[in-house]
Amino acid sequence: MKRIGVFTSGGDAPGMNACVRAVVRAAVYHGLEVYGIMRGYSGMIKGEFVRMDSASVANTVQRGGTILKSARSQKFMTKEGRQQAFDQLVNNGIEGLVAIGGNGTFTGATIFEQEFGIPTVGAPGTIDNDLYGTDYTIGYDTAVNTALEAIDKIRDTADSHDRCFFVEVMGRDSGYIAIPCAIGGGAEIVMVPETAMSVEAVIETLQNSYSRHKTSFIVIVAEGEEEGNVHNVARRVKAALPQLDTRVTIVGHIQRGGSPTAADRLLASQLGIAAVEGLMNGMKNVMAGIVDRKLMYTPFDDTIHKRKVINQSFMRMVEILSV
């Protein structure tokens, strides 16, 4: 393999640039040519390729977002679109790909390899930390710390005014952000997609705490919570407990931005190098990840279809610490 491409796809995550940097410099170190593919699969179809070298990624390790941009591509979901992407890669002599993204990115890469034989090794770039085959994903640590900083500030206001704040954090399919935020932020309750906590159970817990003369509360709600969005949860609680002064805060997309933490920079660098070396060793349709502090390559099929299980002891920890 003489020439590879690297792209970021799906939602941006802090540390993606550190991973791109690692891919580029690992390729240069091993004597490979490397091209950055702008705007993910959309740019692949259009041939938006940029030759990269060590200088191309200077002063990027600390930057949030992605210098290669990211975009969702409906066209790549069609055979015609994938054919156009393949033709662009062939015309530019690109023989392998490093994909930095999540499930959707890896699903596309799997189909693409099956149809056209272009090998891809992935690096897990998503703040949700919901990918099977790695203990942590690139961007997760930063997102948790960003959300926790906001929750700390909300706690000050909740305490000052004796209020109950319902705080929504990201996590459409996973409570991996919500749970550490609840523990680290001193929340009384956490609602996540993986557990069946009803609004009635929330009401009961708050009522019991209120009867013990507790006057301020933080309830963390993951955006994918099955009981509905944070506004619906807060409205139902307020109807049952009118004595509570309730407020809603959505932390939102600030969780996806910002300078990555040291942990995310280290992880991104490690996995970027591993992805390049995986391609050089003939791997395809696998994701580089860290499991029990060891580098592992997990098949995309497992990453896509196997569910990463929440540590239930953390849920118990929230309950114990909220007393």
What is the number of other CB atoms lying within 10 angstroms of the CB of residue 245? 14
Q: Which residue is it, tokens 């906590």?
A: 197
Task: Give strand ranges (E) for 10-70.
Answer: 33-37, 49-52
Cα 214 off chain centre by: 35
Residue 306 marked in a binding site: no
Residue 39 marked in a binding site: no
From 12, 128, 130, 264, active-site residue: 128
Residue 296 marked in a binding site: no
Amino acid, res. 317: M
DSSP 8-state code for residue 107: H
Residue 212 marked in a binding site: yes
Residue 160 marked in a binding site: no
In angstroms, rounded to a whole number, what is the distance separating the alpha carbons of residues 160 and 158?
6
Q: Which two tokens stand for residue 60?
A: 């990027």
Residue 236 marked in a binding site: no
Q: Is 264 left (phi over 0), alpha (psi -120 to 50) or beta?
A: alpha
Amino acid, res. 93: G
Residue 258 marked in a binding site: no
Residue 214 marked in a binding site: yes
Residue 195 marked in a binding site: no
Q: Is 128 a catalytic residue?
A: yes
Element (H, E) at 195: none
Residue 82 marked in a binding site: no
Strands across the sheet containing 217-222 = 189-191, 217-222, 163-169, 245-250
Element (H, E) at 65: none
Contact 24, 34 (CB under 8 A): yes
Phi, psi of 207 (to 5 degrees): -65, -45
In angstroms, rounded to a whole number, what is the distance separating the alpha carbons of residues 248 and 161?
14
Residue 168 marked in a binding site: no
Of the candidates 14, 2, 7, 11, the residue with the CA atom closest to the CA atom of residue 258: 14
Residue 133 marked in a binding site: no
Residue 307 marked in a binding site: no
Residue 301 marked in a binding site: no
Cα 22 off chain centre by: 19
Residue 204 marked in a binding site: no
Residue 201 marked in a binding site: no
Q: What residues form the annotated binding site for ADP?
A: 21-25, 155, 186-188, 212, 214-216
Active site residues: 128
- Known binding-site positions for substrate: 126-128, 163, 170-172, 223, 247, 253-256
- Give the residue ranges of the annotated binding site for ATP: 11, 72-73, 102-105
Query: Annotated binding site: which residue ranges?
Result: 11, 21-25, 72-73, 102-105, 126-128, 155, 163, 170-172, 186-188, 212, 214-216, 223, 247, 253-256
